[in-house]
Structure 1
Amino acid sequence: MHVFWLVSMVLPQAALACGLSSASDVSGGWLTGQLTALQQRKDLQLTVACVDGRQKAALCGEREGVTYRILPDSQGFAPLLQAVQPDLVHIWGTEYAAAAAMRDAAEALRIPTLVGIQGVMQDCAAHLCDGVPAAYLHSTPLDRALDRVIPGALLDKLQASFDALAQSEAALLGKARYVTGRTGFDRRAVSALAPGAQYFACNETLRPLFYEGALWQARHFGRAPVLLLSQGNYPLKNLHTVLKALPAILQRWPDAELRIAGWPPLDKGPLFRPLIARLFPYQRYCRKLADDLGIAKHLHYTGPLDAAAMRQAYLDADVFILPSLSENSPNSLGEAMLLGLPCVASRAGGIPDMMADGQEGLLYGEALDADALAAAVTRVLSASDGGAALGQAARARALQTHAPAANAETLCGIYQTILQEEPRESV
């Protein structure tokens, strides 16, 4: 069985196989994990194509039995499929332009195509800027002129981008015959957007490093617990509600620290600060919020973290917070659970399918409810065991949800089911 994968990012394995100097594992962990598990299969041949617009020419390489191609664009998919002769095409993700181009090329060649839904862009677009004051949402003509010279992160531009991605996702799913997902949330989205498609459930396999080594241990943190947030650079991840929740936590633990994985807000000194503030309104809002609440000294940005550094960041924290306004099955939550770190998360999207409230972690009501978030974090930090029981139960659940061999078996079973329904013809 020969399966052709299309993914929207360059996987570390692909970068290594094709001789690229950059082989970062900061993103795409669910793909890396599933690919690693599938490489053990003797009944499966894989070709993996990664789309990377930075490349001027297509690259090809092989590593551990998998053929990799890094493509500069979506041109030439039909000749590529004719050359590779796969039995089935698996498109990972629904919203990027190459996904639609690959689906059309495979359909024209009568190759069965499976679409893997990752996020649900319709929901992401609907909630992208929830809770951000209107004053930060709309750019001026001057802002837009400056943005054309020095690209920033204007929120109305970001909203338009998410709206376009949601439309692309709806168009692709509207034509899909086979879709795979993981949660009741994405199943409902597929039912609405792709009512004629056959839905298959298959959980994600996470980065291999999170299945091995030391586990989280509760520690005596005194006045200074560490709260960890995996992302905070755009509104969907809801840093603004965490900032609003922090003063209540500081009343109990006055030296608490909020660590935010990723780059800090851009700062090029006082001369350029007004310009940057105009071009990055969400960062401006969060900075003002932190200053107004008197909590700026309690925030620490870690910079980008690879798998090993992110793993250590979980182990160094006392609670992981996932306050997102929209999620399907967030990898960061799965990774924290695998390590046994107690977690507090919003009830957004598919999160309740991953973690049972009160047993494997704590879910709080509306994502924008700062009081409920603060209460849930306080409950974990004040537990006599430091949240260890929640963390242990979370790990047991995650080891089942993200079991590499089981998920590889499930995915191969999906491939076989589709091929039994649509026997492959020569192209």
Structure 2
Amino acid sequence: MMQILWLVKAMLPQAAAACGLAEAGDVSGSWLTGQLAALRRFPELKLTVLCVGKTEAQGEADGVCYRIVPDASAFVPLLQAEKPALVHIWGTEYDEATVMADAAQAQGLPVLFSIQGIMRDCAAHLCDGVPEAYRRSGALWHAVDRVIPGELLDTMQVNFNTLASKEAALLAGARYVTGRTAFDRDACTALAPHARYYPCNETLRPPFYTGTLWHPREFAAAPVLFLPQGNYPLKNLHTVIKALPAILAKYGSAELHIAGWPPLDKGPLLRPVIDRMFPYKRYCKRLAAQLGVAGHIHYTGPLDAAAMRQAYLEADVFLLLSSCENSPNSLGEAMLLGLPCVASAAGGISSMLTDGVEGYIYGDALDEKALADAILRVLQSPDGGAAVGRAARARALCTHDAARNADNLVHIYEDILQEEKS
């Protein structure tokens, strides 16, 4: 029996359900659901999943023990009680990861870190392309922010810098790391120079593997572009807004759909205050108005897995425009459905798709002309992007193959434990 303990910052749907909590639906950690399900076929694997949540609870389902704790104070006694052979920490930038790593190492337990993003690079590129005037807030607005939190970009930058520092400190002493792109491998060479790097791809949410696939529609002058996130500048909404006039010159009724809430608006009296407290949204709103494209931008509201899947199917082009990414799950999901994708050449994107084969990659994330040209390549292709969509699905089915990824992960566990014995 191989006893493994996972630490996950997010609340997994399986954990919530097993522990009888109300948030048993599509919650924040749902991207790990497929990996957990695929591991069921390994009877020699005894898995305890520890989630950080709002309350303390425990339960069991499908042979997996779930524990939810509100803080890291339970880590040491939990390790002593569970006696795992290995601790697998998903993510590297949060406080609980550091506490767990220290507790495990103090007990002589090997620790495997799974790289998610690379906070060093995310912090460096957080506000790329946003004018300086929106990136700095005065003392008054920081005072307001302490009472009613907003999204001040200088505060956000400090938080990202702090997370990057925590990640760097944690990885500096890491011995075992798993990642999935050339980008994170290079980052680990710099940040975790003493670690052994294991490649292992991610398994995505189950609904994206089966069911109806994307197919081209007759969009005439009204194609739909879909952006999965646009609430903070790293996701680069501002550049697609700048690209919209060139798209509208060819397709006058084109629409940009953005997953998530629209900018908050509580009427004319509060609008100046809200705009100050949410400077990135203010910038995008003003930019869209200046360019005359505001009427072509629509927010969907928050989407669970089923609704996100449907949003993909109703789009004509998927956009992943971030200034920094490792291997975004949203891009993998779009590829699994066969939706033609346009992505920036940031981070690990080129490890997920090949330009001109499974989608289109444009160079500088901030180059609106190159972005518009890449979008128009899809919209003006005779097949509406069907060929690159089929190629994208074929590659994604390989990259995100649940059984293969579960095999790889178990082999990583076995290799580490064997090395620890020698």
Q: Write the deviation string for residues 218-268 of structure 1: whole angstroms up to 9, x where unpaired.
A: 111001000000000000000000100011000000000100001111111
Match of 1:382 among 356, 380, 383: 380
Contact 1:26–1:305 (8 Å) recurs in 2: no
Q: Give the whole-Å Cα distance in 2 for the aligned partners of 1:202 and 1:226.
A: 34
Give the partner amino acid of 2:47: L
Contact 1:267 1:276 in 2 (8 A): yes
Q: Judge conservation of contact 2:13–2:30 (CA < 8 Å) in 1.
A: no
The one of 407, 410, 415 equivalent to 2:408 is: 410
| AA in 1 matched with 2:32 | L
Q: Which residue is 2:266 aligned to?
A: 268
Equivalent AA in structure 1 for residue 26 of structure 2: D
Q: Secondary structure at the match of 1:5?
A: strand
Match of 1:321, SS state, is: strand
Q: Report how far residue 26 of structure 1 moved.
A: 5.1
What secondary structure is seen at the aligned counterpart in 2 of 1:422?
A: helix
Question: Any conservation in 2 of the 1:380–1:387 contact (CA below 8 Å)?
Answer: yes
In the TM superposition, residue 24 of structure 1 has moved relative to its aligned partner by 3.7
Report the counterpart of residue 4 of structure 1 in structure 2.
5
Partner of residue 230 from structure 1, selected from 228, 231, 255: 228
1:379 positional shift: 0.6
CA–CA separation in structure 2 for the residues paired with 1:40 and 1:341: 31
Aligned to 1:399: 397
Identity of aligned residues (%): 66
Which TM-score applies when normalising by structure 2? 0.98
Cα distance per residue 1:143-164 (max 9 Å; x no partner) = 0011111100000000000000
Contact 1:29 1:331 in 2 (8 A): no
**1:26-425 equivalent positions in 2, closer than 5 A:** 27-52=28-53, 54-55=54-55, 58-423=56-421
Tell me, in whole angstroms, the C-alpha distance in 1 between the residues paired with 2:362 and 2:31: 26
CA contact 1:5–1:89 (8 Å) conserved in 2: yes
Q: Secondary structure at the match of 1:262?
A: coil
Measure the CA separation in 1 of the matches of 2:27 and 2:215.
24
Matched residue of 2:189: which SS? helix
- Cα distance in structure 1, aligned partners of 2:64 and 2:421: 23
Distance 2:273 2:421 in 1: 59
Distance in 1, Cα, partners of 2:338 & 2:30: 18
Q: Residues 11 and 28 of structure 2 are in contact (CA less than 8 Å); yes or no, is this contact kept in structure 1?
A: no
Q: Which amino acid aligns with 1:28?
A: G
SS of residue paired to 2:41: coil
Separation in structure 2 between the aligned mates of residue 371 and residue 301 of structure 1, nearest angstrom: 24
Look up the equivalent residue of 1:269 and give its one-letter code.
Answer: G
- The one-letter code sitting in structure 2 at the alignment partner of 1:187 is R
Q: Secondary structure at the match of 2:51?
A: strand
Cα distance, 1:23 vs structure 2: 2.4
Structure 2 counterpart of 1:23, which letter? A
Give, in angstroms, the shift of residue 206 of structure 1. Answer: 0.1
Secondary structure, in 3 states, of the residue corresponding to 1:205? coil
| Distance of 1:246 and 1:369 partners within structure 2 | 12
Q: Note the C-alpha offset of 1:117.
A: 0.6
Structure 1 distance, partners of 2:392, 2:136, is: 41
Which letter maps to 2:138? Answer: T
Shift, 1:419, TM fit? 0.4
Q: Deviations over 1:318-370 (max 9, x none)?
A: 00000000000000000000000000000000000000000000000100000
Letter in structure 2 aligned against 1:412: V
Amino acid at match of 1:228: F
Please tell me the residue identity of whatever aligns with 2:280. Answer: Y
Q: Structure 1: any 5+ residue segments left out of the alignment?
A: none
TM-superposed CA distance for 1:40, in Å, is: 2.7
Distance (Å, rounded) in 1 between the aligned partners of 2:35 and 2:265: 38
Residue pair 1:26, 1:304 contacting (<8 A) in 2 also: no
* Aligned mates of 2:360, 2:184 — CA distance in 1: 22
Instruction: Point out where structure 2 has 5 or more consecutive residues left out of the alignment.
Output: none
